[in-house]
Amino acid sequence: LAKTTQPISMDSYEGQEVNITCSHNNIATNDYITWYQQFPSQGPRFIIQGYKTKVTNEVASLFIPADRKSSTLSLPRVSLSDTAVYYCLVGTGGSQGNLIFGKGTKLSVKP
């Protein structure tokens, strides 16, 4: 499974757009890129998944360049409730599917 690298922490203010970048230089052809969000004392929550270019849902956008060696999770107009840890994962959906989490990026949104 491809190893991912993301910042340990980020700070932002309410109403700003937040972009969290994840590096995955060894991504394989069949790998998907998936992002999860986790609040304290809760299980992770699936945010978004993509393979290439751009994916958007009601929560976030995911930008993946052509070489797929990195990806950027974009959260528009964050609020205090977006304070959480965000995990970037890379792997193959068709295999066993066990997720390999790193330490994630702790996002702190300030008023």
Residue ranges that bind another protein, judged by CB under 8 A:
32, 34, 41-46, 49, 85, 87, 89, 91, 93-104
Q: Order of strands across the sheet with 18-23?
A: 18-23, 70-75, 61-64, 53-56
CB of 10 to another protein, least distance (A): 16
Nearer to another protein, 76 or 93 (CB): 93
**Exposure on the CB side of residue 16, measured as CA atoms within 13 A:** 15
Nearer to another protein, 16 or 83 (CB): 83
CB of 47 to another protein, least distance (A): 10
Nearer to another protein, 13 or 46 (CB): 46
**Exposure on the CB side of residue 95, measured as CA atoms within 13 A:** 11
Q: H helices then E strands: how many in the chain?
A: 0, 9
